[in-house]
Structure 1
Amino acid sequence: MLKAVKQTLFSTGLQNPKFTAAEEKKQGQDYEIRTYQATKWVSTTLSGMQWDAAMSTGFRRLFSYIQGNNHNKVKVEMTAPVTCRVDPGAGPACESQFTVSFYVPEEHQDNPPEPSDSEVFLEHRKEFTAYVRTYGGFSNENLKREELLKLLESLQRDGVKYVDKPFYAAGYDSPFKLTNRRNEVWVLKKEQE
């Protein structure tokens, strides 16, 4: 458990899902285009009005899973990023759906342990392409929204086709890492119709 807590707190050497980045950025382009391979994630979904509260509750559920709260009682290595898929509600005073996820490490991709908690599930994400904006500092609900709006403005400026919702936030660092923090917002590429 100490190793998992240390990895979580200091996010050193954590496995990340594999992706291929588009080779060249155009001048003035402030986002990256990434294609992620099909992978498995462990996830939990919450409804609510507050992004940060959902992230906190979701993180605790998933951390319990990687600490052995699964059918095999297996400890699973911490990975990065922690993602939060946001399916916005119908209006500003409506609840949104938040799906918080940990990437399943390579050694468990073929056969991840089944969760013991009924609110935690295994998710198979198909290959997808995302527009990604990276930013530093300590992230919070307002900053995520600001960065998402900047990404959407950039995509509209560049005439890029994208999916309005859902969108994702991704965090790579523990709350105890003070410098060189990495956060992202992801918007999915609209597939050819």
Structure 2
Amino acid sequence: MFKAMGQAFFSSGLQYPEFTAAEKQGQDYEIRTYHPTKWVSTTVSGAEMDAATSSGFFKLFNYIQGKNQNKTKVEMTAPVTCLVEPGAGPTCESQFTVSFYVPQEHQENPPEPSEPDVFVEHRKEFTAYVRTFGGFAKENSKREELLKLLESLKRDGVEHVDKPFYTAGYDSPFKLTNRRNEVWILQKVPEK
């Protein structure tokens, strides 16, 4: 278990989901189209994003440590994403879906979760506007970066989905410098 904790918290050689970057990017954001992939996920309700993300992370960490139907250990990947579906008001509960990307070797047939609140998510292809930022990402900094990204999209006249949105973290809590965090706003899909 300690080796896996070390891998999850110290390794930078982790697998990432594949995406295609648009040739034309915004001046302070990227445009990425993520390919269809499978993720292992859990949804947590609450008023605080940091607490929900932490709770979800440890449920998923147990899954990759072998707490699944096959008792298969699964490599840690990055980023850890959190799909945020805000509640109706400032003190209302929001839904936070925390997810780990399933490594390439398990994409075809991920181990089935054994916990009832952990599930395999099949993400279809999607395009996101991505703002990258450093430091230790806490709820306030994520919100500030999200607002900056929204301002940039408004400035550029880019149509987007207001909610839900994603946060993404790439580093362990033990990495002190050159940290990488992101907020993702989904591209509005034209109606057919």
Normalising by structure 1, report the TM-score. Answer: 0.97
Measure, in 2, the Cα distance between the counterparts of 1:118 and 1:24: 42
Give 3-state SS (helix, strand or coil) of 1:144's partner.
helix
Residue 45 of structure 1 contacts residue 119 of structure 1 at CA under 8 Å; is this kept in 2?
A: yes
* Amino acid aligned to 1:23: E
Deviation of 1:10 after TM superposition, in Å, equals: 1.1
* Structure 1 position 25, deviation (Å): 2.8
Give 1:9 shift. 1.1
For the aligned residue pairs, the C-alpha RMSD in angstroms reads 0.8
Identity %: 76
Q: CA offset at residue 48 of structure 1?
A: 0.4
Query: Larger deviation: 110-119 or 17-26?
Result: 17-26
Does 2:40 correspond to 1:42? yes
- Within-5 A mapping of 1:45-84: 45-84=43-82
Q: Distance in 1 between matches of 2:86 and 2:177?
A: 31
Partner of 1:85: 83
Partner of 2:19: 19
Aligned to 1:139: 137
Q: What amino acid is aligned across from residue 12 of structure 2 in structure 1?
A: T
| Post-superposition offset of 1:119 | 0.9
**What is the distance in 1 between the residues matched to 2:79 and 2:99?**
9
Contact map agreement 1:85 1:100 (CA 8 A) in 2 = yes
What's the counterpart of residue 10 of structure 1? Answer: 10
Q: Give 1:24 deviation, angstroms.
A: 3.0
Distance 1:25 1:69 in 2: 41
Deviations 1:112-158 (A, max 9, x none): 00001111000000000000000000110000000000000000000
Aligned residues: 191
Structure 1 unaligned segments of length 5 or more: list them. Answer: none
Give the distance between the partners of 1:160 and 1:71, measured in 2 at CA.
Answer: 44
Q: Structure 2 regions of 5+ residues with no counterpart?
A: none
